[in-house]
Chain A
Amino acid sequence: MKVTAVLVSHNGSRWLPAVLAGLAASTRKIDTIACVDTGSTDDSAALVAGAIGRAPLVLDPRTPYGESVRVALASLPPAEPDEWVWLLHDDSNPAPDCLEKLVRASEDAGELVAVLGPKHREWPSLKRLLEVGVTLTGTGQRETGLERGEYDQGQHDEQHRVLAVNTAGMLVRREVLEAVGLDPLLPVFGTDLDFGWRVARAGYATKVIPEAVVFHAEASRQGRRDSELVEHPRRQEREGAQYTLLVNSPAWTIPFRSVRMVVGGLLRALGLLLVRAPGEAADEVAALLNIFLHPGRALRARRARAGTARVSHAEVRPLLAPFWLPYRHGLDYVTDVGLAIGYSLREQAERRRPPGVTETTPWYQRLALSPTLWATVLAVVAGHSYLAGGPLHGGALLPVPDSVTHWWQTWGSWRTDLGTGSNAPGPAYLLPLAVAGTLTFNHPELVVDLLFVLAVPLAFAGGLGLLRRISVGNAAPLWGAATYGLLPVLSGAVGQGRIGTVVGAAVLPWLVRASLDLGAADPVRRWRSAWRAALLAGLLVSFVPPAWLVLVLLVLFAFVGGFAEGRRRELLIVVLVPLVLVLPWAVGTLGSPGAWLVEGGRAAALPADPGLWDVLLGRTGGVAEAPAWLAIGLPVAAVVAFLRPDTRSKVLQVWVVVLAAAAVLAATSRVPVSLPGVPVEFRPWPGFLLILIQAGFVAAAAIAADGAGKLAQDADFTWRQPVVVLTAVLALAAPVLGTFWWVAHAGEGPMRRQDTTSLPTYMRELAAGSSTSAVLRITGGLERGLEYQVLRSGVQRLGDDGALALTDPDPRFRALVERLLSSADDGDAALLASYGVKYVYAPAPVADVVSGGFDAANGFGSASAPVRARAWVVQEEPTLTSLDGGRALLRPVWVGACAVGWVVCLVLAAPERKRRRR
């Protein structure tokens, strides 16, 4: 038999000398050689010329591999009966006996075996297996059947039939190669798979001969070769494999394959994003787009293949990878990621193991020693009244909607039917709530219930984690976390239903923790810290917009004080990215900047009028809050903390945060806030800022108290010891007495589980889910004025308040109500119906003007109402023609930008995944 080698080179001078030397050392000499160089810019052509004694054929740099081989064959004399072609790459070095083994196998093989391939091992490691034949999965993925980085220990050394073998080192009958041909539409990647598939359809077999070995540098795939044809190796490899699948599969499978490829590709892209591999994710999507946006190419290729097959596709199917293989890979992948996260968590947990827990402590003992568990138990016991009954609402908390869809709509749509129609944005906190509500399988109430029931353990766990990270001892973090954890209940935030403060208190410790690494020397850690801080700040600002002002002040302090040196960009990310994360809402507040001073929850719901002692001790002068004197130890301890010289600088930093919070608090207290939809000027609830100040006190005290006991014992007796002891007693009283107060008074306050009574049940149920069954509710009387409300889908829901607060009242509607209450025109009932209003409801006691007005007006019939209340049904058919139909046309853009912002933040904040080379 005759063996003709075909060597295609392109900028391969790094490997060519070894390749040519290997060829020279071959135990079975080749009979003739044809060399092609595709416009190398290095000395590849010269190297080849030197080795074989004549210059290679030089082709254009953009010549595809298939075309190069065709040209090389054309330059040779016509095929002889038993002529074989040995394809070689400039980066694949055959072992000396490679050709010999292949030739022997070809002699043993039957007539139908047309292609033989060697085993590929990694070059230069020489030990790891790359390929022992390849096939294709149903999602268009090149499949080797090997573990990543598997060492060659002879475990795959068995000749067997495969779909395809790599073109590097492939020994192929010349007549088959010329008859079937390599696809010139494939630049580099996928050529071998496509060729193998078509060879199989032509009735020939491809076998892998593991005794023959080729060392392959995979220069193109690894991006180590300077080539015009290969610019995005990962993407082009995906494209090649997907193209091969689409052009060779039977026509009837194409729709299924397409769907599977698209869905699988998107899932893969998502998975890659979640493990911070945005480049790979982009490649995945780009490959899909490129394949499906150029259907003409695939059609042409299919047409070219039509009629060439000599055996049915059923013969090929066993050679393809089983359908479940991609899913197993997916599962492996998820398991890998999960394990990585688990390991990192375990590592962290072991670094900060609670006292009394060792490596060998059984899990139940560990659990019993976990303070967070005890805090949770206590919270469930104390908050048992929040666990059962009607919907949780009252104070600043409105009832949760029945479906999470309501939150998504209020947050993201460009207009809603709320009230008399609104295009104001929903509050930013609806996004995290909606995500959580979706993840709980459409149980939004569960999210809010848990937030309030577990307000204390959430804040406690975060605080404990943070304090353990910044201090060494055990007692001080425990004290600090307990004191901090109680703040949401003692400040009245839970009792008053202040969702902003509750979430803010839970997020704050994590934000601080994420920010600690902003000072790291390692830029990777610093950047990750910046993105994590930005992400958490975004979450915090969603619930507590005024927190952003504190953030801005702190960054300003850092810039002015020179602490920003070397991390200016990181700080800017922390302060600016949160704006992107609340973008749809932030754009909507341009007209009413007062909204930035108002926390999540119904604005102006309960009066907040704190005095100096209140703000100093973390109280707002409202209902459901603990006596202020309980917290007297905190500011005292925070000031006494300055006595310890070695922690003074840390305490100073904490005080800077306290100062920033106090500055924002002072500023907001001077500015009566007014919002378009809120008819009074009000003082915004300062809950989060107060908690931030208290948190500062706690942190300062905990930092200074860390190991202070021992210091005090060792030191000589001075005036300091009694001061410290007194402070410690006062400071200890805060969490101890606070816990007693909490357990005794939990569940008190305006927020509780109770049925909504603002509408009769039948109206509420008719209104649910329908925009044209709205209720005009009229309250008040002569003394304090009459107030009206349009309840579009039953009672107002959590989040509606935010959108309505930013909506200007419709003056036409107010005039209509005024007319109805004085002397109605004949068309007024129809006008009211055109706002989608079906019922008018006045709860007891009903003012004369209300009952008289609607009784006298035409077009209103009596409707049933509770005792002493009155209700009327509008006799015209309700429509929505008069609603404010204005749309916030750019909202989808902001929503999109915001979503991208969250994804980018999540990806960049995620832990680094150690990527293994495949």
Chain B
Amino acid sequence: MSTTTGAATRRPALIGIMLVGLTFALLTLAGTTPAGIGRPVDTPARVSLEERIFSCTGGIGSTTVRSGDLRNGLDRTRTVGSKPLRIVADRSVARGAFAGQQALSATSLAWVPCPEPHANWWFSGAGSAEITHDTVLTVTNPRPGAAVIDVDVYGTEGVVDAPGLHGITVSGRSTRVIDLARIAPTSGNVAVSVIASRGLVAVTAVDRFAPGVLGRAVQEWLPPQPEPAKELVLAGLPSVPGSATLSLVNPSATAAIAELEVIGTRGTFAPEGLEPITVPPASVVTLPISDVLDGSPMAVRITADGPVTGTIRTTKAGDTSFATGVQLLGDSTSFGVPQGFGRLVLSSLGKAGSVRVLGFDRQGRTKLAKTVTVAAGTSAGVKLTSGIRYLRLVAAEPAVVGGFSFTYKKGIAAAGIAPAIRSTRLPTVRLRW
């Protein structure tokens, strides 16, 4: 009798234990998230642009254009006339396309990539004085719709007050030339921003600089700089030391304090004796940093507590070159280089990285193929022989920035390398949920 009662009460208890156990097991299963949550259902390929438009506007002496793409190699060299040269790379080659313009004289070498349409343009190290230092902007609207731009000139004493700089209409497929010395005259170094409130424009800035009153004027293109931010990395510093000045602009309404670091071959360091730089609100500061540049492979990093952008002007034997604010290289980037021989500098911004460097000559033959490993926080140089006309960099992961400098006879030219992705591909387009 007692055994049956015991069994009768034990049975539900047993079932209960089983139930509880099973429930907890299931809940454990429910408490883990399987892989794949949040994964896009279908990954639409990034949209390739139908075409890519480079606007080579020239503006210095006889400007020649070197363009091409990875598939077809270098196009024939063309000269820019009075009208800008429009180079269209269609969809099939857009990713590997490049175009640059070069102006060569016995004593100088100027080089800048031909710009593509964007909404925001910043140029630093410009001038706005008729005789000594003047910058001329060439604003091209290569697309059919009209564009409206606002130009702001920042001087050493704040924004240069000038009428007619806002709401400038650039009608479709046309070009406007803006001479800063005429429209917003002021002395000293200036920085200029061109913001398209409607449409997109391609802007080149030709800078004419006469060192001292008697010095021979030198013309050079100012490279476009990234939008002001709290960090700026400048690459494209010359391989021969000369006199160098850093020019920074702070467009915000409060002063920014910037510090400079050098990413050198041995590591990243702050140069001795260099005080933090105060950039007043809406103003430009310029300071000499010739001591910092020694010609070794390097990049310069500016960190500030406010948004800044800027450049480094280097002068050597009467020719000048400008450093470019750069971004991390990702995936594959191709670009053309000027005449002469030079050096490619790859700098790591934190973690180590490796980049496959491929150099091609005029016929598209591979002249250089090596994988460069850059240790964390250092810079590494790669020699570029004079036969190389264009390069392709393939970065395994975004860790390094790049710049190059070239010398030809007495002239020097330098540029930072902009990653191609921004221009070549649209982001994915999908239905918003």
Mark A residues whose CB is within 8 Å of B. Answer: 603-604, 607, 609-616, 639, 642, 645, 648-649, 651-652, 655-656, 658-659, 662-663, 665-666, 668-672, 674, 677-683, 686, 693, 777, 779-789, 805, 809, 814, 817-818, 821-823, 847-849, 851-852, 855-858, 860, 862
Contact = CB atoms under 8 A, between A and B. Distances in A.
B164 interface: no
A683 B38 CA distance: 8
Nearest to B145: A856
B32 interface: yes
Contact of A787 (B33, B48, B431): B431
Interface in B1-51: 9, 12-13, 15-17, 19-20, 22-24, 26-34, 36-42, 44, 47-51
Contact of B429 (A681, A818, A851): A818
Given A821-B47, A862-B198, A783 B39 contact: no
A784 B46 CA distance: 11
Interface stretch (B287-295, B332-340, B369-377, B420-428): B420-428
Contacts of B163: none
Contacts of B39: 672, 680-681
Contacts of B212: none
B236 interface: no
B165 interface: no
A908 to B, nearest CB: 34
5 contacts: A652-B19, A679-B430, A681-B41, A822-B49, A855-B196
Interface residues of B, number: 56
Contact of A612 (B28, B36, B44, B429): B28
B427 A781 contact: yes
Contacts of B86: none
B119 interface: yes
A666 B426 contact: no
Given A852-B117, A852-B143, A858-B145, A782 B433 contact: no
B15 A652 contact: yes
Contact of A655 (B19, B42, B146, B198): B19
A837 to B, nearest CB: 14
Interface of B: 9, 12-13, 15-17, 19-20, 22-24, 26-34, 36-42, 44, 47-51, 117-120, 143-147, 172, 196, 198-200, 422, 426-433
Contact of A822 (B26, B30, B47, B119): B47
B144 A669 contact: no
B341 to A, nearest CB: 36
A655 B427 contact: no
A814 B430 contact: yes
Contacts of B15: 652
Contact of A852 (B26, B199, B427): B199
A679 B429 CA distance: 11
B432 A848 contact: no
Contact of A683 (B26, B33, B172): B33
Contacts of A671: 34
A546 B19 CA distance: 21
Given A613-B31, A855-B145, A639 B20 contact: yes
B204 to A, nearest CB: 18
B429 A666 contact: no
Contacts of A651: 16
Contacts of B20: 639, 642, 655
B171 to A, nearest CB: 12
Contacts of B146: 855
A666 B26 contact: yes
Contact of B29 (A649, A666, A782, A857): A666
Contact of B30 (A615, A777, A818, A862): A615
Nearest to B19: A655
Contacts of B119: 848, 851-852
Contact of A658 (B23, B118, B120): B23
B26 A662 contact: yes
B30 A645 contact: no
Residue of A603, A616, A849, A860 with highest tally of chain B CB at under 10 A: A849
Contact of A672 (B19, B34, B147): B34
B433 A681 contact: no
Contact of A677 (B44, B196, B433): B433
B427 A786 contact: yes
A860 B143 CA distance: 14
B29 A669 contact: yes
Contacts of A656: 19
Contacts of A857: 144-145
Given A604-B433, A779-B432, A809-B431, A669 B9 contact: no
B23 A817 contact: no
A377 B432 CA distance: 40
A645 B41 contact: no
A220 B431 CA distance: 69
B329 to A, nearest CB: 16
